[in-house]
Amino acid sequence: MDVQKIISEMTLQEKIAFCTGADFWCTKAIPEHGVPEMMMSDGPHGLRCQKGEADMVGVNQSLPATCFPPAVTAGATWDEELYAKEGEAIGKEGLSQGVSLILGPGCNIKRNPLGGRNFEYLSEDPYFAGKMAPSFIRGQQSTGASSSLKHFAVNSQEYKRFNGDSQLDERTLREIYLTGFEIAVKEGKPNTVMCAYNKINGVHCSDNKELLTDILRKEWGFDGMVVTDWGAMNDRIEGFRAGCDLNMPGGSKFMERAAKEAAAKHEIAVVVAGLPDAYESEALDRENMMLPKGHNRMIEAVSSVNDNTVVLLLGGSAMEIPWEEKVKAILYMGLPGQAGGEAAYNLLTGKAVPPGKLTETWPLSYQDVASRETFEKKNVEYREGIYVGYRYYDKADKEVRYPFGYGLSYTTFAYSDMKIQEQQVSVTIKNTGAIAGAEVVQLYIAPPEEGIFRPKKELKGFARVELQPGEAKTVCFTLDERSFAIWNQGWRIPEGDYVVMIGSSSRNLLLTQTVKVSGENIEAPAWQKGSWYEKAKGLPGREEWEKLMGHAVPVTEEPKKGHFTLDNTCMEMKDSSVVMKIQYKVTENIIAKSYGGKKDMSNPSYRMTLICAVDCPLRAAVINSGGTMNDSLAKGLLQMANGHYLKGIAAMLGK
């Protein structure tokens, strides 16, 4: 297919039309130019291919598919080769079902243990996430299927993900939230990147030229397609200018039919569906990080009468486990997929040896989390800056339940003979136990203590080593300039003495050597002395955070009647608008019909469907409704929500 010839023959109207999906999962075909449609599907841990009526929450039937372990488990293997095989298997399965673009892997940072998508993100550490993601991409794209690296960028919570604003300083953006994507793009070369719903410092990702063109394309060399998350387009013209190529509509036939039913009854309602592919669990049903009070009481009761209690723990993120010392052992498997039962049996009986390591820190309680007061806000202030995960707990000298990189085995390992020669670091690992096993060797670098604030150490290398009893192997790591660099108006290396540390977790470092690194004298900012960012004690205050940002950050007021915009949602407007209250009630009733007429907020599927429908911005509703809501209707409803009923009617009539 001569792509350039086809492009030259297409009209401007055809090109514009081609940049919006034909339906929920497919691009537009242009048969007169020989261009077929392209079908997409979730996801990073198994297909969710819907050939009939489509939606994002599983209301309608999907084709049978293999359920692979999501990133919380796949990442914990620290096995790049194995993760590549998972990507390859999903790619082959996708092609067998007519899917040529598979939406994944996810490379966002686990900023907070309550993140609704933590189960499908790889880590709290950007280097680790960046090194694992390319393996999945290469494996998947080796089959001929394409990957879509997501969600670009700073998408670390589900609450208000359609119109939330992630507010953070440039250094934190670069060192923590973009580094994983940068490595994945440069080393994995995904064919597509998916832009996120949220804003970054006030600019929607879909409209963000600095993000999509200046950084992604010009700086990192990405030459593929940028596709929106479903319904994430804010402004189509600004999106074109920013470098956002394909706008995928989030509406489904299920929602279109519901909307038409409401219209036929002359009800003031258009059901909109900007449905994300994860539960909006964060603000809806959580009290804390603990297991349900009943999966806790049971453990307490059993362990009180049986000293040999072993807990098989499943879950997508860190949890509070106050009963830890009362049980003999804990086997944490994340979410192991459809073969998890057999895997658990083999691990518990000793037929297999646990090889995994945690890719996120487990704090003692949620009260120890640095982002606990700024999480689950519409406008999220990333006050903790670069201190995410172990970077924070180490800097604050906080005790944790389990450190980053932690994991036990049925055998033991010895570390010896560490050597550093120029950019090469080597170490010998020996299996000193009686059975075969795998060890994950981790390399961290501690920066000079003086100068600009930095974490106490950061992961800069890892390797998984399979060893027979008594066997020893030498593991080698290569360091580069980025191993020592920080973002300071570009990547720069502060000169000084750096400590290279090797061990089995972030808090079990067995071998160390100091190296002198030449670089620049980067002075600490004047405000740093005595600030939270020097010692990370307590929680960061807003005033100090504004100094980190380099400017005052206005506090965003809650939306008020008379000032609502197309970026506001039915849920945000219903308490002060009769029109939106009616809209909410009608939507609630229509969605309840698909759940036996029950408005049951304890049903996670119903709850998610409802919240996603009523908490979708009006500007996204125009895209998501599949043509049921046009610009005039949206603007008319907005005028009415603001109390201008006559103007609203006029807008609906196109006047």
Q: Give the pLDDT confidence score for residue 282 in this predicted structure.
A: 44
Out of 125, 229, 394, 615, pick the active-site residue: 229
Q: Give the pLDDT confidence score for residue 274 in this predicted structure.
A: 36
Q: Give the pLDDT confidence score for residue 206 in this predicted structure.
A: 96
- Tens of pLDDT along 512-534? 999 999 999 999 999 999 999 99
Alpha-carbon distance 567 to 598, whole Å?
Answer: 30
Three-state DSSP class for 467? strand
Average pLDDT, the chain: 90
8 Å CB contact between 158 and 281: yes
Of 519-523, 582-586, 629-633, least confident by mean pLDDT is 629-633
Give how far Cα 25 sits from Cα of 51, 210, 238, 253, 277, Å.
Answer: 9, 28, 23, 12, 13
8 Å CB contact between 500 and 443: yes
Q: Is the pLDDT of residue 565 over 50?
A: yes
From 329, 308, 494, 508, select the one nearest 406 (Cα to Cα).
508
Bridge partners of 379, per DSSP, are: 165
Average pLDDT of the segment spanning 134-144 = 98
Q: Give the pLDDT confidence score for residue 267 in this predicted structure.
A: 45
Average pLDDT of the segment spanning 78-105 = 96
Bridge partners of 227, per DSSP, are: 194, 246
Choice between 163 and 179, residue whose per-residue pLDDT is larger: 179
Instruction: Give the pLDDT band (50/70/90) at residue 578.
Output: very high
Alpha-carbon distance 283 to 280, whole Å?
Answer: 7
Of 82-91, 208-217, 282-291, 595-604, least confident by mean pLDDT is 282-291
Give how far Cα 126 sits from Cα of 150, 214, 360, 601, Å.
Answer: 14, 21, 11, 35
Active site residue 229: yes
What are the start-end ranges of the E strands in 388-457?
Answer: 400-402, 413-421, 424-431, 437-446
Q: Which two tokens stand for residue 188?
A: 């994995």
Q: Give the pLDDT confidence score for residue 577 in this predicted structure.
A: 94
Three-state DSSP class for 337? coil
Element (H, E) at 231: none
Buried b (16+ CB within 10 A) or exposed e, 316-339: bbbbbbebeeebeebbbbbbbbee
Q: Give the pLDDT confidence score for residue 628 in this predicted structure.
A: 74
Give how far Cα 176 sits from Cα of 228, 387, 420, Å.
Answer: 22, 9, 27
Q: Give the pLDDT confidence score for residue 254 in this predicted structure.
A: 42
Of 76-90, 112-126, 576-590, least confident by mean pLDDT is 576-590
Average pLDDT of the segment spanning 39-68 = 80
Lookup result for tokens 């600490």:
524
- Tens of pLDDT along 436-458? 999 999 999 999 999 999 999 99
- Calculate what percentage of the chain has a pLDDT beyond 70: 92
Q: Is the pLDDT of residue 70 over 80?
A: yes
The type of residue at 251 is: G
Of 180-194, 373-387, 409-423, 621-635, least confident by mean pLDDT is 621-635
From 510, 544, 326, 364, select the one nearest 429 (Cα to Cα).
510
- Tens of pLDDT along 242-295? 999 999 986 544 444 444 544 454 444 433 333 333 433 444 344 457 677 777
Q: Give the pLDDT confidence score for residue 629 in this predicted structure.
A: 79
Bridge partners of 362, per DSSP, are: 402
Alpha-carbon distance 372 to 392, whole Å?
Answer: 13
In this prediction the pTM is 0.93
Q: Give the pLDDT confidence score for residue 256 in this predicted structure.
A: 46
Q: Give the pLDDT confidence score for residue 253 in this predicted structure.
A: 47
Q: Give the pLDDT confidence score for residue 294 in this predicted structure.
A: 74
Which DSSP string do the residues of 59-110 spell out, in sequence order?
SS----------HHHHGGGT-HHHHHHHHHHHHHHHHHTT--EEE--EEEE-
The type of residue at 458 is: E
Average pLDDT of the segment spanning 51-70 = 76
Q: Give the pLDDT confidence score for residue 58 in this predicted structure.
A: 56
Q: Give the pLDDT confidence score for residue 405 in this predicted structure.
A: 98
Instruction: Give the pLDDT band (50/70/90) at residue 631.
Output: confident
Choice between 281 and 66, residue whose per-residue pLDDT is larger: 66
Q: Is the pLDDT of residue 19 over 60?
A: yes
Give how far Cα 393 sits from Cα of 212, 409, 537, 538, Å.
Answer: 33, 24, 10, 11
Average pLDDT of the segment spanning 538-546 = 95
8 Å CB contact between 591 and 583: no
- Calculate what percentage of the chain has a pLDDT beyond 90: 75
Q: Is the pLDDT of residue 581 over 70?
A: yes
User: Is the peptide bond prior to 43 cis by the omega test (within 30 degrees of 0)?
Assistant: yes
Element (H, E) at 592: helix 578-593
Q: Which two tokens stand for residue 601?
A: 């907020």
Q: Which two tokens stand for residue 349?
A: 């009986």
Average pLDDT of the segment spanning 136-157 = 97
- Tens of pLDDT along 201-230? 999 999 999 999 999 999 999 999 999 998
Choice between 631 and 461, residue whose per-residue pLDDT is larger: 461
